Amino acid sequence: MRSSSIAFGDRHYEGNYNRLAIAGDAEITNSDVKKVYCAGDLSISKSTIGNLKFAGDLEADSVTIGTIKGAGDASFSGLCKVDNCVMVGDLECDMLECEILQNGPRSERVNTTSTPTWEGVFKGETFENFKELALEGEIEFKNIILSAPLSTKTEISCDNFYLFSGLTFGSINAEHTFILASSNVHLDTVTGCTVEVKKEFKPGKEFKRIRKNGKYNNLCSDNGIASVDNIEADNIYLENTKSKYICGINVVIGDLCIVDRVEYQDTIEISHKAIVNEVVKT
């Protein structure tokens, strides 16, 4: 039978445990633990943890963790796997695989003073960003949902990309891209299969199917105009968008769009409230 432990002060654990509650610095090696609660610096290596909640710094080496909810700086070395990772603080890793990776708390009541920095390679299914984040590595996720600004120097590639906040950024390459139109959105290039820039967001079936932590109800923009220099996609639907060049098969230019040049293959619709300087059928 697994035992539980409560520790005050520095402790070292090795073996199988049910629940560890630690106030102080702790080191866990070669262990299998169902739940770990730690207030203090925590070092875990070659272990499997079911549920980890910590406030302090975390150093993990080659670990498998079910759920992490952590406030503090975390460093993952070796190959680490986490099912659901919610972090508030800096994160550094060689390679971190997560089903769901979330930056910042969903609640707006929790305020973080500085912008955390994440370094390394992050892989997984869904990445959710609820607080401003500086990413100095790579993210390879199937679904990316940004509800807060993200700064990164590399192109974002994924299957589904949802942007609900301001973003000043280079390029996005996604099968399906949704951008909530806002004056704080400034993008160079968006490419993919479907690109939508709308004033409102209503979660559709595809969005509901995505495994995620956050709850996204109907969202409205600030009625500003998003700036996307180049858009290349099969199906394009735009509202409140300023763009230099748009190229697609089926293109809908909705209200309050300002576009320099549109190239379309099959169909095009242009709202009477939009300005398009040049339309070319290819």
Partner 1 sequence: MKNASLDGIGMLNGGEYNKIELDGISKLKHPLIAKSVSIDGIFKSKAKIQADFLSFDGISRVFRDIKAKKIDINGIVKIRRANLYADEIICTGILVCNREVNADYINIDGNCSANTMYGDTILINSNENNNQNARIPSKLGIFSKLYFGRQVKTSMSLVDRIECTHFEGNNVYCKEVYANSVKLTGYSEIEVLHCDGDIDVANTCTIGKIVGKEYNIREMGEMVNTTIRKILDLYKDGKIDANEAETMLSSLGVENKTHDSSPSVPWEDDGKLRVVAYIGRKLLKKGDPGQSKISVSIEGDALNVEAHGNVECTDIRGSVSAAGNVRCNDIRGNVSCSGNVQCSQINGNVSSSGGIRIDTGR
What residues line the site for partner 1 (CB under 8 A)? 73, 90, 92, 117, 119, 136, 183, 223-225, 227, 240, 242, 255-256, 258, 260, 272-273, 275, 277
**How many angstroms separate the CA atoms of 207 and 45, rounded?**
36
Smaller CB separation from partner 1, 29 or 271 = 271
Between vectors from CA 28 to CA 27 and to CA 30, what angle results, nearest 5°?
Answer: 140
Task: Assess contact for 166 and 180: CB atoms under 8 A.
Answer: no
Min dist. Cβ of residue 117 to partner 1 (A): 6
At position 282, the amino acid (one-letter code) is T
User: Please, which residue, 36 or 226, has the CB nearer to partner 1?
Assistant: 226
**Nearest distance, CB of residue 62 and partner 1, angstroms:** 17
Tell the smallest beta-carbon distance from residue 257 to partner 1 (Å): 9
Q: Which two tokens stand for residue 107?
A: 């609640």
d(CA 226, CA 95): 34
In 3D, which of 73, 49, 79 has the Cα closest to residue 61?
A: 79
- Name the residue nearer to partner 1 (CB basis): 249 or 270: 270
**Consecutive H or E run containing 207:** helix 205-209
- 208's CB contacts (< 8 A; 6+ apart) are none
Q: Residue 170: helix, strand or coil by DSSP? A: strand
Name the amino acid, one letter, at 122: F
Q: Closest distance between partner 1 and the C-beta of residue 110, in Å? A: 20
Of 16 and 77, which CB lies nearer to partner 1 in the complex structure? 77
Burial (Cβ within 10 Å: 0-12, 13-18, ≥19) of residue 39:
middle
Nearer to partner 1 among residue 121 and residue 193 (C-beta): 121
In the bound complex, what is the minimum distance in angstroms from residue 167's beta carbon to partner 1? 16
Q: Which is nearer to partner 1, 125 or 260 (CB)?
A: 260
Which DSSP category does 148 fall into? Answer: S
Residue 58: Cβ-neighbour burial (10 angstroms; 0-12, 13-18, 19+)? buried
Determine contact, residues 144/162, Cβ cutoff 8 Å. Answer: yes
CB of 14 to partner 1, least distance (A): 25
Check the CA dihedral 110-115-121-125 and report its sign. positive
CB of 277 to partner 1, least distance (A): 6
Nearer to partner 1, 128 or 239 (CB): 239
For residue 227, the minimal CB distance to partner 1 (Å) is 7
Please, which residue, 99 or 119, has the CB nearer to partner 1? Answer: 119
